[in-house]
Amino acid sequence: MSKLGIKKGDKVVIIGGGFAGLQLARTLSKGDLKVILVDKQNHHQFQPLFYQVATGRLEPSSISFPFRKIFQKSKVVDFRMADIVKIDPKEKKLMTTYDRSISYDHLIIATGCKTNFFGNNEMSENTFSMKTTQESINIRNKILFSFEKEIFARVEDKQAFMNIVIVGAGPTGVELSGAFAELKRNVLPKDYHNIDFSKFNIILLEGSKNTLNNMSEESRIASKAYLEEMGVIVKTETLIKSYDGNVAVLNNGETIPTKNVIWAAGVTGNIIEGLEEQDVLKNRYIVDRYNKLKRFDNIYALGDVAYMETPDYPHGHPQVANVAINQGKTLGKNILKSMKKDNFDLVEYEYNDMGMMATIGKNKAVVELPFLKFKGLFAWYVWMFLHLMLILSVRNKLVIFFNWAWSYLTHDTSLRLITFIDYKKEKVTNS
């Protein structure tokens, strides 16, 4: 028996194929185990580039990787497409929406995050979020379809189709705003000759005083200056009070007619029913330095859904991809080595912050490394290179690079398809 209680031939079930779950599964594929990866999607989603799908720069297939393709040569890892609704730790099984169960010897929860609407049901019903590939496609469909509808709209209704409100000025909100601004300047006027795009407004709302509030003062100032230079209306210290699908009311009393509000204001952990309240803090599972839930010997949590206190991070780690990837690697290596050596000392996880970055537009980005901060053209190149390196397959790297190069040289893309609309019982399909 190993120190982690995992022995050869045990059935290890991983819930979630995001950065953490996928990294762990790939590491454990080298061991003598039976690994089941469970996800409600059949593919891994590269979330940092969702905004490029939403703005028609990349096809969804460029940043989506089918699990069965990833593990088609593995004799250790198998995949189950299912939505887990409950954990039964006593019986050591998972209940799915299909009313079927999946048994396990050891369970790793890597369910990631979902959009946090802070209890506001009106926002969850009427705004768009961007946490899955499908949600990104929905945004692309809805925004493009808005321009088609604007052509037929009554004069008094036209402006509502021409206002896009983005709530939250973190990396997602900033990158999305910049991408829409470039569409407005370089692409849309060539497609829609009878629309006056001087009336097309991208409005970015942020409750704090700054854009990119988690970055340095230099990056905050630069990102806001870039956005305003590109024509984005940035409103800081401003909250959206209500939105009924037609009019957004701000906390300063201002009203904005709009059919398109995108919510990028926060995330919260995907908690599954079945464990106790004492296992959860701030909507994340409480784990020790080895990502194990403290009340269980056979249940672990990774990435965004794990709450781990360490000397450097006494209030938990940031919910970013680097944490998830490295927690998956560390746990996987601990499991494999402890299966082989009874006297193996487990490696405690600690986050090594490699920095932050965000791109705002062509030749415009901010990068913060541990000992260096820079912005502009070189930062933009660094951002592109590092994101390309994280893409799984060589084929997809080449496809994305070609799309970026084509867009850079031509100031255009060819991916503006309206494939399907389902918004408030309104449906549109390709003809």
Give 417's pLDDT tier (boundaries 50, 70, 90).
confident
128 phi/psi in degrees, rounded to 5: -100, 140
pLDDT digits (tens, 9 = 90+) for 13-41: 999 999 999 999 999 999 899 999 999 99
Structural domains of the chain, with CATH: 11-40+82-115+268-340 (3.50.50.60), 121-265+362-429 (3.50.50.100)
pLDDT digits (tens, 9 = 90+) for 182-232: 999 999 999 999 999 999 999 999 999 999 999 999 999 999 999 999 999
**Residue type for 46, please?**
F
Give the tokens for residue 69. 């393709």
pLDDT for the residue numbered 76: 95
Residue 130, pLDDT > 90, answer yes
Which whole number is the average pLDDT over 298-316?
A: 95
Query: Which residues does residue 94 pair with via DSSP β-bridges, in sequence order?
Result: 87, 102
Please say whether the beta carbons of 368 and 67 come within 8 A. Answer: no
Widest CA span in the chain: 76
pLDDT digits (tens, 9 = 90+) for 364-398: 999 999 889 999 999 999 999 999 999 988 889 99
pLDDT digits (tens, 9 = 90+) for 227-278: 999 999 999 999 999 999 999 999 999 999 999 999 999 899 999 999 999 9
pLDDT for the residue numbered 408: 87
The overall pTM is greater than 0.85: yes
Nearest one of 130, 162, 166, 164 to 148, comparing CA atoms? 162
Would you call 155 helix, strand, or coil by DSSP?
A: helix
pLDDT digits (tens, 9 = 90+) for 341-362: 665 678 999 998 889 999 999 9
